[in-house]
């Protein structure tokens, strides 16, 4: 949206006070996020009642009625209509562009945060999970052609990107809608073949069943040193009964096999997963199975969330797990995750390894580097000249979240 508007002569400002138009881009995944967005929109409407307001993104598409109640007179823009943002900005009347198909022939330059570029390769998925409102917003898979993605990555690297994040609703579903059905592995090979340079690729989230479908080719494509040995594959629950309630299309044993295949090929890989605690119908035994799965597989990273009721989903009409039980289970699992994470990250202390400097760390004056498996290493002393350089580092400390290091020559 920023690219479209600046190309049409509009100027981005830093404060709503000096803006003619305020654009709020939204997420719809969780209830607490929705509540924060609603509070923000009320605040904007109260402070700037006469300013043009555009509400874009997933919440605009999934819950237009809510937006209209909170911010009457706002224009609504679906995620697929981002390239049409000039219409509500330049138009005289509010518009609702909600039934728009993603235009995969329109591809603005990849946004960059520092020297990290994010390249969208597809959106949408083939699942119908009981708890997920994202399906309402993003729909079925729509992929950008290989040629277009390669061009994006090439342009990003020419602009100085040292890390390229390939993102999508389900990256392993890439290409299922394209002629010839190219896979994510085909896309990776094309990028690596046609884009020279000392950069790294991080592949975004992939669902287990889609990852299983392409596992052999994908693991082969990962052999290139420019691909982080990073896999984000959500299991969501360690109970087959709960997975069926969720509408997930794999079993716990199938997930175990996928995890084993990945770890056999890349033992030091960072395997991240997502878990939802307290999905409607989850009993104590179901939770115990999830707990035991985490103990068994010892994931390097776990994104843990308490189930959040979302409208327009099947799970919203199921019998809900009380909040106090969700909190108790979440605390117990968090303690286990932190214990395992601390042990895994702690095992790196004392090792000397090669890392790529990708930016300034969240701690001021420090550099952020990544190991080949995407583990973050915070290094003392920040210099822009170090960006994109390989460095030898000695790991001196660890938390369950990151590593600390120092130059080792």
Burial class (CB in 10 A: 0-12, 13-18, 19+), 258: buried
Same domain, 300 and 184: yes
Same domain, 128 and 208: yes
Same domain, 231 and 291: yes
What confidence tens digit (pLDDT) does each residue in 1-22 have?
998 999 999 999 999 999 999 9
Band of the pLDDT at 111, cuts 50, 70, 90?
A: confident
Statement: residue 331 has pLDDT above 70 = yes
Statement: residue 401 has pLDDT above 90 = no
> 104 lies in a domain?
no
Same domain, 328 and 220: yes
Same domain, 284 and 376: no
> 47 lies in a domain?
yes
List strands edge to edge, sheet with 75-77: 21-26, 52-57, 75-77, 96-97
Tell me the whole-structure pTM to 2 decimals.
Answer: 0.93
Instruction: Return the pLDDT at 315.
Output: 96
In CATH, what number is assigned to the domain containing residue 76?
3.40.50.12160
Q: Is the Cβ–Cβ distance between 160 and 357 less than 8 Å?
A: no
Report the C-alpha gap between 269 and 239 in whole angstroms: 25
> 295 lies in a domain?
yes
User: What tokens were used for 297?
Assistant: 């597989």
Residue 70 exposure: Cα atoms within 13 Å on the Cβ side: 23
Q: Residue 399 gets which letter from DSSP? A: -
Count of the separate structural domains present in the chain:
3
Band of the pLDDT at 363, cuts 50, 70, 90?
A: low
Domain final residue, candidates 296, 322, 346: 346
Report the C-alpha gap between 397 and 404 in whole angstroms: 5
State mean pLDDT over 366-387.
91
Domain final residue, candidates 97, 122, 144: 97
Report the C-alpha gap between 197 and 199 in whole angstroms: 6
Strands 376-380 and 366-370, how do they pair?
A: antiparallel
Whole-angstrom CA distances from 241 to 105, 236, 237, 283 are: 42, 12, 9, 10
Same domain, 89 and 227: no
Average pLDDT for the chain:
95
> 105 lies in a domain?
no
Instruction: Return the pLDDT at 1.
Output: 92
Same domain, 89 and 144: no
Q: Which domain holds residue 297?
A: 112-346
Same domain, 162 and 227: yes
In CATH, what number is assigned to the domain containing residue 296?
3.80.30.20
Share of the chain above pLDDT 70, in %: 100
Statement: residue 182 has pLDDT above 70 = yes
What confidence tens digit (pLDDT) does each residue in 93-109 have?
999 999 888 777 777 78
Domain final residue, candidates 297, 312, 346: 346
Residue length of the chain = 409
């Amino acid at each position: 949206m920023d690219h479209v508007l600046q190309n049409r002569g509009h100027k981005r400002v830093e404060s709503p006070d000096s803006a003619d138009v305020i654009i709020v881009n939204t997420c719809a995944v969780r209830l607490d996020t929705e509540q924060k967005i609603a509070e923000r929109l009320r605040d904007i409407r109260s402070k700037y009642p006469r300013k043009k307001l555009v509400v874009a993104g997933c919440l605009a598409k999934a819950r237009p009625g809510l937006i209209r109640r909170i911010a009457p007179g706002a224009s609504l823009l679906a995620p697929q209509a981002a390239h049409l943002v000039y219409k509500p900005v330049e138009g005289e009347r509010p518009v609702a562009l909600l039934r728009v198909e993603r235009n995969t022939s329109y591809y603005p330059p990849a946004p960059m945060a520092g020297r990290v570029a994010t390249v969208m390769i597809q959106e949408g998925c083939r699942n119908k999970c009981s708890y997920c409102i994202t399906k309402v917003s993003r729909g079925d898979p729509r992929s950008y052609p290989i040629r277009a993605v390669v061009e994006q990555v090439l342009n990003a690297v020419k602009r100085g990107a040292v890390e390229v994040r390939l993102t999508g609703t389900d990256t392993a579903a890439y290409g299922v809608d394209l002629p010839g059905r190219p896979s994510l592995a085909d896309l990776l090979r094309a990028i690596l073949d046609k884009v020279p340079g000392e950069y790294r690729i991080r592949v975004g989230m992939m669902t287990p069943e889609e990852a299983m479908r392409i596992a052999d080719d994908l693991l082969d494509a990962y052999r290139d040193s420019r691909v982080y040995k990073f896999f984000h594959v959500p299991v969501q629950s360690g109970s087959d009964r709960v997975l069926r309630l969720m509408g997930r299309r794999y079993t716990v044993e199938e997930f175990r096999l996928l995890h084993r295949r990945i770890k056999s090929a890349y033992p030091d890989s960072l395997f991240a997963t997502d878990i939802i605690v307290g999905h409607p119908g989850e009993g104590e035994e179901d939770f115990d199975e999830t707990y035991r799965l985490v103990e068994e597989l010892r994931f390097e990273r776990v994104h843990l969330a308490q189930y959040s009721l979302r409208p327009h989903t099947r799970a919203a009409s199921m019998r809900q797990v009380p909040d106090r039980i969700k909190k108790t289970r979440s605390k117990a699992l968090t303690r286990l995750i932190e214990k395992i994470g601390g042990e895994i990250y702690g095992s790196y202390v004392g090792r000397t390894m090669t890392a790529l400097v990708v930016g300034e760390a969240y701690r001021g004056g420090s550099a952020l580097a990544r190991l080949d498996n995407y583990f973050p290493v915070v290094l003392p002393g920040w210099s822009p000249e170090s960006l994109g350089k390989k460095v030898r580092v000695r790991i001196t400390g660890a938390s369950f979240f990151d590593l600390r290091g120092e130059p080792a020559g």
